[in-house]
Amino acid sequence: MTEVKNDTRVAINNILYLTDFSEPSEAALPFAASIAREYEAKVHAFHVLIPAVYTYTTPETAAAALDAQEDDAQANMQRVNAQLAGLSHETVVERNTGVWPGVEAAIKEYAIDLVVVGTHGRTGYQKLLMGSVAEEIFRRSRVPVLTIGPSEKHGAHRGARFRHVLFPTDFSEESLAAARYALSMAQENEATLTLLHVMKGPEASDKATEDQISSASFRLHEIVPEAAESWCRPDVLVRFGTAADRILEVAKERDVDLIVLGVRGSHGVPGAATHLERATAHKVVAHAPCPVLTVRG
């Protein structure tokens, strides 16, 4: 059964906004604030302070260096605090040995419903929210993660609102776990909703292919409950080719503001499995022209 429940609205009461005070993190903040307003949620602005390794230092100088790191982080967090004025929020700077342990603990402690994170979309020197760390978060998080990548262009001039939501699915249990979030985000923002299914191989024109397209289109329509028809007339698309390429292609063609993607968990190995094929989620998050909401199935 592919239809989701009639009550599609998702409750978002607490948002964890992760920041390392970099430009990608700054780009993610308006989205956390916008969603908080729409859902009347509280924002928990969270920075994980990972102690730098200092060679040939005394305990006294190492302690002084840690204090300086924390003072700098607290000063940066004051800027975040100012940008969240008017919203229910708190700011937290926490020392930990790694990003994920801190995030995992915060999700539990603050009863988080959504994580918002900015990413460079690539790997490199270990700053907090480089691509590899952001991927570990959306692979391992038990709550949905909204990732704002380097190609996102709409946020500033659209008020971080979602006017067109794209939901790709291969009809697997993992991908359909995200359907309710796609419907809720579309409803909350009065957005256009496009449902996409990607078939492998080149498109053909024979009767068998037409039947496949017809069957997939019918299944896409089934995902949307009848109750949603009062506010949503979804557009359904069936494309052929590589899943990630077609998802990105449709996102650009349709000027999409949000992609909602079901993902499989990492099972301890970031990038070990993805929606539709091994590297789909990584490629979509890294190259999407808009934020990507990943929901672990």
What pLDDT shows up at residue 206?
67
If you average pLDDT over residues 255-274, what whole number do you get? 69
Which pTM was predicted? 0.85
Cα 35 from Cα 6, distance rounded (Å) = 22
- Return the minimum-mean-pLDDT range out of 146-155, 185-194, 246-255: 146-155
Instruction: Look up residue 104 and give its amino acid.
Output: E
Decide which of 1.20.58.100, 1.20.58.1610, 3.40.50.2020, 3.40.50.620 is the CATH code for 164-296. 3.40.50.620
pLDDT at 182 over 80: yes
Which residue from 253, 93, 248 is spatially nearest to 168, judged by alpha carbons? 248
Please report which helix (H) or strand (E) contains residue 239, including its range.
strand 235-240
> Which structure tokens are listed for 228?
């949603």
The confidence band for 52, taking pLDDT boundaries of 50, 70 and 90, is low
Band (22; pLDDT cuts 50, 70, 90): confident
Q: How would residue 79 be classed by pLDDT, with cut points 50, 70 and 90?
A: very high
Q: Does residue 92 carry a pLDDT above 90?
A: yes
- Average pLDDT in the chain: 83
Region(s) of the chain under CATH 3.40.50.620: 14-148, 164-296
Residues 6+ apart with CB under 8 A from 80: 17, 19, 21, 29, 45, 91
Whether the pLDDT of residue 214 is over 90: the answer is yes
User: Is residue 268 over pLDDT 90?
Assistant: no
Edge to edge, the sheet with strand 258-263 lists 89-95, 42-49, 14-18, 114-118, 145-148, 292-296, 258-263, 164-168, 192-199, 235-240
pLDDT at 276 over 60: no
Give the DSSP letter string of 140-153: H-SS-EEEE-TT--
pLDDT band at residue 272 under the 50/70/90 scheme: very low
226, 142, 41, 177 alpha-carbon torsion, rounded to 10°: -10
DSSP state of 118: E
Say which CATH superfamily domain 14-148 falls into.
HUPs (3.40.50.620)
270 class by beta-carbon count within 10 Å (0-12 exposed, 13-18 middle, 19+ buried): middle
